Amino acid sequence: MNTSIPNRLFVRNRTNLAAQMPPKSVAVFTANEPMPRNGDEFYPFHQQSDFFYLTGINEENAFLIIAPDYPDETMREVLFIEPYDEVKATWQGEMLDAKQATELSGVMTVKGSDAFWSFVNDIALSGYANTIFLNTYEYPKYECAVETIQQRFVKQVKERYPMHNYGRTAPILNNLRMVKSEEEIAITRQACDITAKAFRRCLQTVRPGMYEYQVQAEIEYIFKQNNASGHAYAPIIAGGKNACCLHYSKNQSLLRDGDLLLFDIGCELNNYSSDLSRTIPINGKFTERQRDCYNAVRRVMKEITKLYRPGGTINEINEATRRLMEPEMVKLGLFTAEELRNQDPDKPLYKKYLMHGMSHHIGLDVHDSIDKFKPFAPGMILSCEPGIYIREEGIGIRIENDLLVTEGEPINLFEGLPTEIEEIEEAMLKKFTK
């Protein structure tokens, strides 16, 4: 249960959404549901991000109505929570009550979820809600065969009210969520600080002969010790050739002397994400080849970081990275300057060694609401993550920071964390010389 975010954030978020809804409309939202794991077990509950953004509520069986034009002011915002169930409370613990729900969300009218549909009827059939706005997760690259509760809810509402007009909240909320408030920035800073602590611990503990999952355990220890709920996404602890698999998450392999170890980790704090990538030598010392590859990525990162200013775009970051990385790859002997000049423009040579984008928004989701064509604006938080992956050599390198866009220079939320080769080797040397 969230207790550390002031409810003014959620009040403001609802106000901003309502201001962009057309006259005589209503928006209805449902919370997430527990996801089955196996047998009678469920995965730990995680709230749907838009629902949390508007309410701060981390509970299942909850609904929200926003009806800005409804004559009865007490029904313009109504939050519905699960009615008290003595058996459930005995088995699963404390349940949220109406007073607590108001304190968390700032919604003054809180009812039991068993009253939800009667309230929707009153509003939808009143003549003050000709358009019903519905919420689903919309991300261009996301595909999932499992139907979510939000998708089922959309069908349910449309079956009940087939003659209404319908709208989508996702475009409005995606646009709002891209620019973070002071409260959101403060939480993200804290999440980045915790993740940085976890990486520093790894600099002092990683050594040949460990297993990737043992490194993961060190990270999780720091996360929990610092009040994070856990990982913001499946952690990548990839030794040697495993680092060339972009979303490697088995984390089962032995760490071998002479190999590199790529981290892609981030804690989740109060539902907000952090996202960090670093690459270190398992034995504390980069080889010459590893140094050359690492420094190539680092040089590119320094240059593209300068582009995270108002007016820039993700597409510009990607294009700049390509231009900068191609000559670096030539220097590394991955292809020749002549091969580069004669390359097939539909199959650029660099993509064999760098196949992912360089940036994404970060917020309630680690890959947060996005419009890759929307110019950067102060308050946006984005990743900066160039890399290089040479499968035939077992070398995978990625360096990633979370950058806050300001009116001037971007702010690196991982400022001070070892990034240069000398910093990494010095931090690891202390361990090996004890």
CATH of the domain at 191: 3.90.230.10
Catalytic residue at 368?
no
Would residue 411 count as lying in a domain?
A: yes
CATH number at residue 122: 3.40.350.10
Would residue 270 count as lying in a domain?
A: yes
152 shares its domain with 200: no
Catalytic residue at 389?
yes
Per-residue CA distances from 369 to 133, 235, 269 (Å): 18, 21, 18
Mean pLDDT per 10-residue section of the chain, whose length is 434 residues: 79 98 97 93 94 97 97 96 88 91 97 96 92 91 87 96 96 96 97 98 97 98 97 97 96 98 98 98 98 98 98 96 98 97 95 96 92 91 98 98 98 97 94 64
Catalytic residue at 264?
yes
30 shares its domain with 81: yes
Catalytic residue at 247?
yes
268 shares its domain with 378: yes
Would residue 2 count as lying in a domain?
A: no
Tally of domains within the chain:
2
Provide the domain limits for residue 216: 182-432
Q: Cα-flanking dihedrals φ and ψ of residue 3, to 5°?
A: -130, 0
146 shares its domain with 266: no
- Which helix H or strand E contains 25, and what residues bound it? strand 25-30
152 shares its domain with 226: no
Q: How far apart are CA 107 and CA 65, in angstroms?
A: 10
**Exposure string over 138-174, b if 16+ CB within 10 A, otherwise e:** eeeeeeeeeebbbeebbeebeeebeebeebebbebbb
Q: How far apart are CA 385 and CA 304, in angstroms?
A: 10
Would residue 3 count as lying in a domain?
A: no
Closest CA to 82 of 105, 54, 47, 110: 110
Q: How far apart are CA 360 and CA 188, in angstroms?
A: 15
168 shares its domain with 224: no
199 shares its domain with 166: no
Catalytic residue at 385?
yes
Specify the pLDDT at position 144: 84
Q: Out of 178, 198, 227, pick the residue that ends a domain.
A: 178
Q: Out of 178, 195, 211, pick the residue that ends a domain.
A: 178
Specify the pLDDT at position 434: 56
- Which helix H or strand E contains 62, and what residues bound it? none
Q: Could you tell me if 360 and 380 are in contact, meaning their C-beta atoms sit under 8 angstroms apart?
A: no
Catalytic residue at 361?
no
* Tokens 């900066």 -> residue: 384
207 shares its domain with 95: no
Would residue 1 count as lying in a domain?
A: no
155 shares its domain with 187: no
393 shares its domain with 422: yes
Q: How far apart are CA 393 and CA 407, in angstroms?
A: 42
Angle, CA 231 vertex, CA 282 and CA 417 arms, to 5°: 50
Would residue 194 count as lying in a domain?
A: yes
Would residue 404 count as lying in a domain?
A: yes
Q: How far apart are CA 290 and CA 332, in angstroms?
A: 10
- Out of 264, 268, 365, 402, pick the active-site residue: 264
**Identity (one letter) of the amino acid at 170?**
A
Q: Beta strands 236-239 and 230-231: pairing type?
A: unpaired
Would residue 328 count as lying in a domain?
A: yes
- Out of 14, 189, 278, 360, pick the active-site residue: 360
23 shares its domain with 153: yes
Specify the pLDDT at position 433: 64
- Out of 77, 275, 326, 368, pick the active-site residue: 275
150 shares its domain with 195: no
Q: Out of 160, 178, 196, pick the residue that ends a domain.
A: 178
Specify the pLDDT at position 139: 81
**Exposure string over 372-399, b if 16+ CB within 10 A, otherwise e:** eeeebeeebbbbbbbbbbbeeebbbbbb
